[in-house]
Chains A and B, each alone.
Chain A
Amino acid sequence: MRHTISVLVENKFGVLTRVAGLFSGRGYNIDTLNVGPTNDPKVSRMTIVTRGDDATVEQIVKQLNKLPNVLKVQDFRDGEYVDRELVLVKVSVDSRSRAEVMQITDIFRAKIVDVQPKSLTVEVTGSEDKVEKLLDLLKSFGILDVTRTGKIALPRK
């Protein structure tokens, strides 16, 4: 099962390695990982998306809680949180396809952030579904490169 785990940590060196180590030590892959400061500069929020059976993820969450530099851990359930991801995607275009790509970009309320003779770079923000759908549509034009922030999430309450 897929889990979105939010971890509030003290902003100290080595914390990221300690957190990541709990996944790698169990042979679990992290799908996405995002780290950044919160409104308190001493505290950072990590948003981790991972796949694993519930018992193992429960164990990882408990182990995360044991780390002295971890302040709070939440394993989000569906509907309890809002999430977004920002993606930059470089699409191969020529004079014929450029307009169509721009049109798709428009429909998805995405933005063109860079234009080159043979490529366009599109910025899209949104839920996982929306991002996946856009990437799917752009595939036929030829995607040259993609970079994703990974999911960021906040609890609704």
Chain B
Amino acid sequence: MSKAAAKTKKTSAKTATRKVGPLMYGRDILVEALEREGVEVIFAYPGGASMEIHQSLTKSRIRTILPRHEQGGSFAAEGYARATGKAGVCMATSGPGATNLVTAIADAYMDSCPLVAITGQVNQSMIGRGAFQETDMIGVTLPIVKHSYLVTDINDLPRIVKEAFYIAQSGRPGPVVIDLPKNIQQARTQPVWLTHEEMRAGLPGYNPDIFADELALNEIIGLIAKAERPVLYCGGGIVTSGAAAELKKFAEATGIPVTTTLMGIGAFPENHELSLRWLGMHGAAFANWAVNGEYEHRKSFNDPQVKIKDGCDLLLALGVRFDDRVTGAFSEFAKGATIVHLDVDASELNKNKRAHLPVVGDVKDALTRLNKLLTKRPVGKKFGAWHAQIAEWKAKAPFAYVVTSEIANSDHVKDHMKGSEDEVILPQMVIEMLHELTKGEAYITTGVGQHQMWSGQWYPCKYPRQFITSGGLGSMGYGYPAALGVKVAHPDKQVVDIDGDGSFLMNIQELATANVEKIAAKAIILNNQHLGMVVQWEDNFYAGNRGHTYLGNPDDRAQVYPDYVRVCNSFNVPCERVMFKRDLKAALQRMLEAKTPYVLDVCTPYSEHVLPFIPAGRTVADMIWKY
């Protein structure tokens, strides 16, 4: 349990190597500190307690992007971070500006995203007096940060910024908050710029460099040699640690099939023959069967589970956290398997699921060493029967969609499709066509809900960091601002936000940011006028009773509401509505070819459900996968 030998007697860093700068204002010290960390862009919305810093930013080489809501700015910073692996930086003023960052901070915490959130704070002499726009941000964000700082002394500022970036980006990344009172922004001092070593010496309680035990790695090879039906279950940790190449080498050397979490999409090429795509509540049926075994579908949760085929006997869980959306009932997950769990964060081991072999360590380092061990000691197994079984499952239950009678009889078809009933567009078709037109090379961001799951299903990804979604927190409104951040990081790449009408509306003001800042991120709204995922649960568990899940105009249900074409045009962003299948391809092409932001409002029926579907807390035997 003990940390790496805590040096209680810190030797003070050698002053000789320190660089002391000229007399500077706090605001300028902050901005120079950001420049020294290699920050290229900051998403920042000014206000009384942060305008000092904006004054400095006007003289900096850092690009300042003005979002139209602090939440949009902070999601954009997350998108930038997720696309690059470098810390995203956002800033807001005190009080409401700061609290508007809270959702993104929580999101970054859940999805292990390096985010540095800077908040202005009222003057130190005013703290605790209920000053105008005063909020205790350290207190508010305490349970959702990797670390946080209230700057109380201007001389600490260079060290705090350096530590913040180091903590945010190392080990298991996460959000760090720096709360900076205005009087410190206005004070002056000679900044002391620390070296990396000096900064680390001041953090005796933080050691992110953790490497797997050699014995455990040998044991893993031994377990593979004994296994008949192994599966690799890989998550965001592979992406974070940059281990995709090592994972591919390892999977190919051993012949072990790979399934990923939603966060791990792209960690292993989804067009690879060893890919099982992603697993869990709405993941591939064949991935869920490969991990848990195939069962007869039971009608009631109280019926016994009748197994048809065995699932894996060895589960190699790398950089994952056994999230409930992956496992369903923890006790039933991968029941027949020996579980190896490798993660850089010791607190993930044995948290949700007890592992037979828990290993703490960086996953890239571990995979590199495992690959070395394999060259010395090849496993020499082909797992032929297992691959045949998986091929059978893949053939039996691929991702699929059909125009059901429910859709044919839906309001959508009746209101809009008269005479062209065959032209109805299902959401899955749109994503499938986008995949085809972009050759699977686009960066995809999403909102949260049905469209998010379909994006994962119908846009197979080849590269890590290609699929950027709010996985853990499930923050609606994430998609478009995140796409802006991705596009800023990769201006030459095609970046498309696949969104729902509910999610898109939550940060629609960022169209102004896109237009003014000339960030050509595209958006497809899969517009079904409903909160689709909640509707799906209503259909399954509440007899279809609608509990405020209709987002259209109740006085005129045939109207598509709001009119996104008019909304987007008012932001100077081109937008077209697509109602019929025959128009879809050309519209998608126009969107993809545009050099500006561009929105497609694609109208789809709301009666479509995301399948497969394992109800929350249930098992693979309860999986609905046939239309």
The interface of chain A, by Cβ under 8 A from chain B, is 8-10, 13-14, 17-18, 21, 25, 38, 40, 42-43, 55, 58-59, 61-63, 65-75
Chain B 147-176: CB-based contact to A (< 8 A → 1; otherwise 0): 110101000000000010001000000000
**In chain B, what residue has the closest Cβ to A66?**
B347
Can you show 18 pairs from A to B with CB atoms below 8 A apart? Answer: A9-B205, A13-B152, A17-B139, A17-B142, A21-B143, A38-B8, A55-B350, A58-B350, A62-B346, A63-B347, A65-B1, A68-B167, A68-B203, A68-B205, A72-B3, A73-B2, A74-B1, A75-B1
Partner of B142, one of A21, A40, A63, A66: A21
Query: Digit string of B347-371 for contact with A (CB within 8 Å is 1, else 0)?
Result: 1001100000000000000000000
B1-20 vs A, CB cutoff 8 Å, 1 = contact: the mask equals 11100101110000000000
Query: Is there an interface contact between A65 and B142, defined as CB atoms closer than 8 Å?
Result: no
Residues of B within 8 A of A18 (CB): 142
Q: Give the chain B neighbours of A13 by CB distance below 8 A.
A: 150, 152
Contacts of A58 in B (CB 8 A): 350
Contact call A59/B143, Cβ cutoff below 8 A: no
> Is B345 in the interface zone, CB < 8 Å from A?
yes
Leading 5 A-B pairs by shortest Cβ distance? A71-B6, A62-B347, A68-B206, A40-B8, A71-B205
Q: Are B9 and A40 in contact, CB atoms less than 8 angstroms apart? A: yes
Interchain CB contact (< 8 A) of A74 among B2, B143, B152, B351: B2
Q: With the chains together, A53 CA to B146 CA distance in Å?
A: 25
Whether, in the assembled complex, B138 has its beta carbon less than 8 Å from a beta carbon of chain A, the answer is yes
- B336: CB under 8 A from chain A? no
Could you tell me the distance in whole angstroms from the C-beta of B380 to the nearest C-beta in chain A? 37
Residues of A within 8 A of B206 (CB): 68
Q: Known pairs A21-B143, A55-B350, A68-B167; list 16 more (Cβ under 8 Å).
A: A8-B8, A21-B142, A38-B8, A40-B8, A43-B8, A59-B347, A59-B351, A63-B347, A66-B146, A68-B147, A68-B203, A68-B205, A70-B3, A71-B6, A72-B2, A75-B1
Q: Whole-angstrom distance between the alpha carbons of A58 and B350 in the complex?
A: 9
Instruction: Give A55 to B6 CA distance when docked, in angstroms.
Output: 26
Q: Does B615 contact A (CB under 8 A)?
A: no
Shortest beta-carbon distance from B184 to chain A in Å: 15
Over the window 121-145 of chain B, the binary record of Cβ atoms lying under 8 Å from chain A Cβ atoms (1 yes, 0 no) is: 0000000000000000011001100
Are the C-beta atoms of B143 and A65 separated by less than 8 Å?
no
* Residues in chain B near residue A21, CB distance under 8 A: 142-143
Separation in Å of the B209 CB from the closest CB of chain A?
14
Whole-angstrom distance between the Cβ of A53 and the nearest chain B Cβ = 13
Provide the bound-state CA to CA distance between A55 and B8, in Å. 30
A38-B8, A68-B167 known; A73 vs B347 contact (CB < 8 Å): no
Interface residue tally on B, bucketed by range: 20 to 34
Q: For the complex, is B574 an interface residue (Cβ under 8 Å from A)? A: no
Query: What 0/1 pattern do residues 189 to 210 of B give for CB contact below 8 A with A?
Result: 0000000000000011110000
Which residues of A have CB within 8 Å of B139?
17
Q: Complex formed: what's the CA distance from A66 to B206 in Å? A: 8
The residues in B between 212 and 234 inclusive whose CB is less than 8 angstroms from any CB of A are: none
- List the B side residues contacting A25 at CB < 8 Å: 143
Q: Which residue of B lies closest to A55 (CB)?
A: B350
Closest chain A residue, CB of each to CB of B139? A17
Q: How many residue pairs at the A-B interface have CB separations less than 8 Å? A: 64
Closest chain B residue to A18 by CB distance?
Answer: B142
Q: Known: A14-B138, A72-B6, A74-B1. Contact between A67 and B205, CB under 8 A?
A: yes
Per the bound structure, the CA–CA distance linking A72 and B205 in Å amounts to 8
- B residues near A70, Cβ cutoff 8 Å: 3, 205
Chain B residues engaging chain A, CB cutoff 8 angstroms: 1-3, 6, 8-10, 138-139, 142-143, 146-148, 150, 152, 163, 167, 203-206, 345-347, 350-351
Contact A10 B346 (CB under 8 A): no
Closest chain B residue, CB of each to CB of A15: B205
Residue of A whose beta carbon sits closest to that of B348: A62
Bound-state CA distance A65–B205 (Å) is 8
Q: Are B6 and A61 in contact (CB under 8 A)?
A: no
Contact of B204 with A71 in the complex, beta carbons under 8 Å: yes
Complex Cα–Cα for A14 and B147 (A): 11
Contact A65–B347 (Cβ < 8 Å): yes
Question: Which of chain A's residues have a CB closer than 8 A to the CB of B203?
Answer: 68
Q: Is A65 touching B351 in the complex (CB atoms < 8 A)?
A: no
Cα distance, A24 to B345, chains bound together (Å): 22
Alpha-carbon separation in the docked complex, A121 to B441 (Å):
78
State in angstroms the CA–CA spacing of A58 and B142 once bound together: 21
User: Contacts A43-B8, A66-B345, A71-B204: A61 and B138 contacting too (C-beta < 8 A)?
Assistant: no
Q: Which residues of A contact B1 (CB under 8 A)?
A: 61, 65, 73-75
Alpha-carbon distance between A9 and B6 when the two chains are bound, in angstroms: 10
Interchain CA distance A74-B146 in the complex, whole Å: 21
Complex contacts, A17 vs chain B, CB 8 Å: 139, 142
Q: How far, in Å, is A73 (CB) from chain B's closest CB?
A: 5
Bound-complex Cα distance A71 to B5 (A): 8
What's the nearest-Cβ distance from chain B to residue A84, in Å? 22
- Chain A CB within 10 Å — which of B8, B203, B204, B205 has the most? B205
Q: Which residue of A lies closest to B176 (CB)?
A: A68
Cβ-defined contact, B347 with A71, below 8 A: no
CB distance from A145 to the nearest CB of B (A): 31
Q: Which residue of A lies closest to B206 (CB)?
A: A68
For A22, give the chain B residue with the smallest CB separation: B143
Given A21-B142, A42-B10, A62-B347, CB of A69 within 8 Å of CB of B205: yes
Chain B neighbourhood of A59, CB < 8 A: 347, 351
Most chain B CB within a 10 A radius of its CB, from A58, A65, A70, A75: A65
Give the distance to chain B from A5, nearest Cβ to Cβ, in Å: 9
Which A residues touch B204, using CB under 8 A? 10, 71
In the complex, A18→B152 CA distance in Å?
18
Measured between beta carbons, the chain B residues less than 8 angstroms from A65 are: 1, 3, 346-347
The CA of A135 and the CA of B206, in the complex, are separated in Å by 43
Residues of B within 8 A of A71 (CB): 3, 6, 8, 204-205
What are the residues of chain A within 8 A of B6 when measuring CB–CB? 8, 43, 71-72
In angstroms, Cα B8 to Cα A25, docked, is: 29
- The docked-state distance in angstroms from the alpha carbon of A75 to that of B1 is 8
* Chain A hits for B152, CB < 8 A: 13
Give CA–CA (A42, B9) in the complex, Å. 9
Residues of A within 8 Å of B148, CB to CB, are 14
Q: Which residues of A contact B138 (CB under 8 A)?
A: 14
Complex CA gap A151/B532 in Å reads 54
Closest to B166 in A: A68
Chain A's closest residue to B174 (CB) is: A66
| Chain A residues whose C-beta falls within 8 Å of the C-beta of B205 in the assembled complex | 9-10, 67-71
In the complex, A71→B207 CA distance in Å? 10
Cα A72 to Cα B2 with chains together (Å): 5
Q: Which of A25, A63, A66 has the most CB of B within 10 A?
A: A66
Q: How far is the CB of B143 from chain A (nearest CB, A)?
A: 5
| Interfacial chain B residues near A38, Cβ < 8 Å | 8
Please give the distance in Å from A76's CB to the nearest CB on chain B: 10
Residues of B within 8 Å of A72, CB to CB, are: 2-3, 6
For the complex, what is the distance from the CA of A9 to the CA of B206, rounded to whole Å? 11
Chain B nearest CB: distance from A37 CB in Å? 11
